[in-house]
Amino acid sequence: MKKLFSGLCGLLLCQTATAAQPDTGALFEHRLPRLHSNETVDMRQFAGQPLLVVNTASFCGFTGQFEGLEALHQRYRDQGLKVVGFPSHDFRQEADDQAKTAEVCYVNFGVTFDMVAPIKVRGDDAHPIFKEIARQSGKAPRWNFYKYVIDREGRVTAVFSSLTKPEDEKLKTAIEAVL
């Protein structure tokens, strides 16, 4: 029995050691156009910060989650959390015009967290940030408003589907764990 226990402990240690290590370059070495702006969002500013990364869409049944995401941003920003929205047309629910996307985010929902110009979030053409998120978590977005909690070391620590509302206690607990 003692040998079995020792063997199981050794196996667990091996699995921990082979877990996907973060490629911080894949996450942070990018400058992306800010949504409907001539400015850029330099992802290097987020290195060492806890992040909530969300793939968004303006014309989705989950678009109302912008309100809850903004509430999370307001609640946790003074504790260091950075929320970053990545609009995507991968699920055919994003405007073709950045001005319309910006109107939905900034005017309709009062978003003040960083939003980048639309990118690809899944498949071979996915932006390197989302390729790294999928590599670490094993979960590429299956729909709009997937939420990825990333710790200060650039590790994806939790993934939440579109069905998880920003107000969900499990999401808040995952965020608080990386603050």
Q: What positions carry a catalytic annotation? A: 60
Beta bridge partners of 160: 147
CA atoms within 13 A on the CB side of 167: 4
Report the sign of the C-alpha dihedral through residues 110, 114, 118, 120, in that order: negative
Look up residue 120 and give its amino acid. Answer: K
CA atoms within 13 A on the CB side of 37: 14
